[in-house]
Structure 1
């Protein structure tokens, strides 16, 4: 029985009281016996939390009571087992590291396109103005290897902070096209889309809610493979069921790399 509710969410919003918020969330998560990871920074909040449904919904209610997170809509999936080993709540410089402090989504995000629209564009082979559409994977190379959109651009980056240099090297390839940046849940492609706009690309969007929201709303059309997730489930299929193979050498290597990347953020 899948009785563990997994949620993920992020929001770029000014949090000048990051340390106080960390203490509050750590105390509440501990009280509810939840596990996962939460990053708090001056630029926003990024969380992955799992536990029994009632406890998770109580935790979300605490977030919603804060006006800054009243509109937070976590993405949900279910699992038979708790995918995290402990609860970590940390204050970081960025909730997703890019090393470009001028990129501040809380001050104005790039246009977002819903999953249904992306599917329609990919179905017809162009956007609504007849412009060719390309999907740009902003994830790390080992994540892409689990699955990605058909024909997606993949620059084989090993960490998100390499994205700006990769764009500068390949910017000309994107000129004159509609670019849909995407990632697991939306946080990386949001920063990536803003950076591309600032770099002078005119038709740039972020996939609203990332791959997981796309799976939820479209069933994964035009997507090949699974989506790597940073927890014990390893990867999710387009129907949002776990495709874990924890005994495989590849899984062990990827989880080790994922943990290193998370600690470096």
Structure 2
């Protein structure tokens, strides 16, 4: 999808990744940060020796400039990009960082450029996951799964993607059994985690592995709601919190203390206080920590009422 064919909206959002060899991470970081700031683009880009990953937002022209800089990098002309729109800027800051991995799995020998599962187009995904001989695994974290997932999907209950290898190794016999191995279909938000998770399963000796091309976001954009096997909403890592079919804004809020999505029922909990805590994290914080969060939230609201930028916003 070309940036000129993006969904209508005042702010263009681009979720992107590319596994490619990056020799000069510091130099790439400096150049991408320069282009982002020069074009008013906010969000996060991660650079590692294995590639680039991130979600950014800005004007169509600004996003095009950043994507142009990424596509100019070696082996990045075909960077995977998924576009959506937002009514307001969904990020407070511009962050371009160098990391050890662009998506942290903690398996240094995994190389998605060498071997990954079979890509499945969103329009063919329903038939695959409806097949009783297919095991469907949600590779995302537990709080993401809580907001929505596919019918029949197994939830590993992981708090971090780094936990996925240990979970699979512990559950392998139960999942795959002793007879003919089933097909394994995996999915994630935009596709990047499945690049690594399918490469990991292939390295573990599982051959019949598939993953959703473009991830949940591409599925929700492509598959009509009346044909969809998706249940709930999809958590996204920006101020939209969740999106639904057609990538329409979802109904969840974000707990700014623990960064977990909070649905309508969660907001009605006596343990929920906007900007302070939710039912999931209330017991994880002290009275002093909640008091500090409460004061920060008060200062943010005060700044907004005076028309000032968010106290943490740095472009």
Q: TM-score, normalised by structure 2?
A: 0.75
Q: Deviations over 1:142-199 (max 9, x none)?
A: 0000000011011100001100110011112332211111110111111111111111
Q: Deviations over 1:41-88 (max 9, x none)?
A: 001110110011121122212222334211123101111000000000
**Would the aligned equivalents of 2:116 and 2:202 in 1 still touch at CA under 8 Å?**
no
Q: Partner of 2:162 in structure 1? A: 161
| Counterpart secondary structure, 1:145 | helix
Structure 1 position 15, deviation (Å):
0.5
Distance in 2 (CA, whole Å) between partners of 1:213 and 1:88 is 25
Q: Partner of 2:191 in structure 1? A: 186
Aligned residues: 248
Q: Partner of 1:262 in structure 2? A: none
Distance in 2 (CA, whole Å) between partners of 1:245 and 1:165 is 30
Q: Partner of 2:310 in structure 1? A: none
| Counterpart secondary structure, 2:219 | helix
**Would the aligned equivalents of 1:146 and 1:225 in 2 still touch at CA under 8 Å?**
yes
Query: Which residues of structure 1 form unaligned runs of 5+?
Result: 258-265
Structure 1 position 240, deviation (Å):
0.1
Structure 1 position 101, deviation (Å):
0.3
Distance in 1 (CA, whole Å) between partners of 2:78 and 2:201 is 27
Q: TM-score, normalised by structure 1?
A: 0.88
Whether 1:93 aligns to 2:93 is: no
Which protein shows a greater Rg? Answer: 2
Query: Which residues of structure 2 form unaligned runs of 5+?
Result: 1-7, 262-315
Structure number with higher relative contact order (C-alpha < 8 Å, ≥ 6 residues apart)? 1
Whether 1:206 aligns to 2:211 is: yes
Q: Stretches of 4+ moved more than 6 A in 1?
A: none
**Counterparts of residues 197-236 of structure 1 (less than 5 Å):** 197-219=202-224, 221-236=228-243
Q: Partner of 1:37 in structure 2? A: 44
Q: How much is the aligned-residue C-alpha RMSD, in angstroms?
A: 1.8
